[in-house]
């Protein structure tokens, strides 16, 4: 090949290579047109509010080296807070989707559009379980977005995010779908993972496909520094749309209910019970009067299929049950006595945590696997037996696992939890509610306050055991 032809060949190659690579990876030449099209529908959300503090925060290490000791102030106090987040308009008359944690406890919510328009927003409804909230502003002919089909978002697909990171509204970032089906501790987790840059303030903003459809609601990041390291998570649109539709229609979320307490199936459990592989959810307990109990599920069963879907792990079952229809028989395949058994369970409506605690009743203990303890509501008989004041309120420990973190802190049977995460505890439902919220926030530790006698408390920072 002559020098002239080699030069011409390389020149042509240089000119077509970027185009060829872009075509090979189905990548856009630019995101400019897409960003221009959808940005007017993305809003900045600012909130203010007041939260009540119990005044009984855990003492700092400095407190114990000062004399006299600076013990917590028992008087409750109030603290004003403000926060920033993102959201997006889904209707021309002003319905807006965001994360629940963006607007939680807010007394004043304001949204700002890209053209500078500022409007007050009303919180219509929210679902703490999936961290979604629906707002409403008084508007007309507002630019709005449509939900896309998140099931079509394959790993490696291009995506674009728009939001309000650190108060910098209208920020556009792009990347790919890094993974699907991520579970981060919530009962109904099914996150889309992306490397599109997401930071604090992006929460509640949209994740777009290349057609400008919303395939996710940006919600969480993993970062040791608090800044983006390319690991962000979005609630898939197919889950979000179902939740938002219910919030808009009824103002609440109704989920199907099986009524089982479940735990992970380990390799050792699978092998000992003759399972061909490690999967399913082990039934460790049944709620009284629950659909599962009525229709034949037993403690020790391993639920391996639900409505013809394989139960891959303990995290899979709650999501499958929640998506099923209330009042309809579900096909449940369990592993019992080293063989499969098919049952049909008429699903009920999931009770609230408070209702669930009431169902469990005063005399029954419930197992809190995250702490390795069994607890029940503190009764008058307990108070008489332990010679407690009638004013003492809390839950009493009926059992502490030998490998529990609390056992190593000298916590034992009959100890009483009176507060958790600075919230007073009066029932087992309060414990369940706090732990679920802590896990949904991505935290691994919880502050527990135990009764230690009149005008005395014992503070313990406990690490949660999260499978």
Which residues belong to the active site?
101, 131, 203
Beta bridge partners of 111: 45, 119
Alpha-carbon span 367 to 373, nearest angstrom? 6
Which residues have CB under 8 Å from 455's CB, separation 6+?
A: none
Count of all residues that appear for the chain in the document: 467
Alpha-carbon span 280 to 403, nearest angstrom? 24
Alpha-carbon span 373 to 446, nearest angstrom? 14
The SS3 assignment for 7 reads: helix
The SS3 assignment for 132 reads: strand
Alpha-carbon span 244 to 257, nearest angstrom? 20
Q: Is 210 exposed, middle or buried (0-12, 13-18, 19+ CB in 10 A)?
A: middle
In 369-460, alpha helices (H): 380-386, 428-440
The gap from C-alpha 305 to its chain's centroid, in whole angstroms, comes to 24
Q: At what angle do helices 353-360 and 428-440 cross, to 10 degrees?
A: 140
Contact status, residue 24 vs residue 16, Cβ threshold 8 Å: no
Phi-psi region of 88 (alpha: psi -120 to 50; beta: other; left: phi over 0): beta
- At 226, list the tokens: 């608090």
Contact status, residue 357 vs residue 428, Cβ threshold 8 Å: yes
Phi, psi of 111 (to 5 degrees): -115, 145
């Amino acid at each position: 090949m002559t020098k002239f032809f080699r030069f011409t060949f390389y020149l042509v190659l240089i000119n077509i290579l970027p185009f060829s690579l872009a075509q090979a990876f189905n990548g856009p030449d630019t995101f400019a047109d897409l960003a221009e099209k959808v940005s007017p529908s993305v809003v900045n959300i600012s909130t203010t509010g007041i939260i009540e503090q119990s005044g009984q925060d855990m003492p700092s290490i400095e407190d114990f080296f000062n004399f006299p000791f600076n013990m917590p102030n028992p008087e409750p106090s109030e603290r004003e807070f403000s926060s920033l987040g993102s959201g997006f308009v889904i209707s021309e008359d002003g319905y807006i989707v965001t994360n629940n944690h963006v607007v939680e406890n807010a007394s004043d919510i304001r949204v700002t559009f890209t053209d500078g328009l500022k409007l007050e927003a009303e919180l219509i409804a929210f679902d703490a379980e999936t961290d979604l909230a629906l707002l409403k502003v008084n508007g007309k002919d507002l630019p709005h977005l449509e939900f896309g089909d998140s099931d079509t978002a394959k790993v490696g697909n291009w995506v674009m995010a728009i939001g309000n990171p650190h108060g910098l509204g209208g920020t556009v970032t792009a990347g790919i779908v890094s993974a699907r089906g991520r579970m981060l501790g919530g009962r109904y987790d099914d996150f889309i993972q992306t490397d599109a840059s997401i930071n604090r303030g992006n929460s509640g903003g949209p994740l777009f496909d290349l057609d400008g459809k919303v395939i996710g609601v940006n919600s969480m990041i993993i970062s040791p520094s608090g800044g983006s390291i390319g690991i962000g998570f979005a609630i898939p649109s197919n889950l979000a749309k179902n939740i938002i539709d219910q919030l808009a229609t009824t103002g609440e979320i109704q989920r199907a209910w099986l009524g089982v307490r479940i735990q992970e199936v380990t390799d050792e459990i699978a092998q000992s019970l003759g399972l061909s592989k490690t999967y399913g959810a082990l039934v460790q307990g049944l709620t009284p009067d629950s659909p599962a109990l009525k229709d034949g599920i037993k403690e020790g069963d391993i639920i391996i299929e639900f409505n013809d879907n394989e139960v891959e792990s303990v995290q899979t079952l709650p999501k499958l049950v929640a998506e099923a229809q209330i009042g309809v028989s579900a096909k449940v395949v369990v592993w019992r006595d080293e063989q499969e058994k098919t049952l049909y369970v008429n699903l009920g409506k999931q009770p609230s945590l408070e209702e669930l605690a009431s169902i469990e009743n005063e005399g029954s203990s419930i197992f809190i696997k995250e702490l390795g303890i069994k607890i029940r509501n503190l009764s008058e008989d307990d108070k008489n037996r332990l010679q407690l004041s009638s004013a003492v309120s809390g839950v009493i420990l009926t059992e502490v696992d030998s490998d529990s973190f609390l056992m190593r802190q000298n916590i034992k049977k009959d100890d009483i939890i009176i507060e958790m995460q600075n919230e007073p505890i009066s029932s087992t439902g309060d414990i369940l509610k706090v732990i679920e919220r802590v896990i949904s926030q991505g935290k691994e530790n919880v502050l527990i306050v135990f009764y230690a006698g009149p005008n005395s408390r014992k503070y313990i920072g406990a690490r949660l055991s999260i499978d």
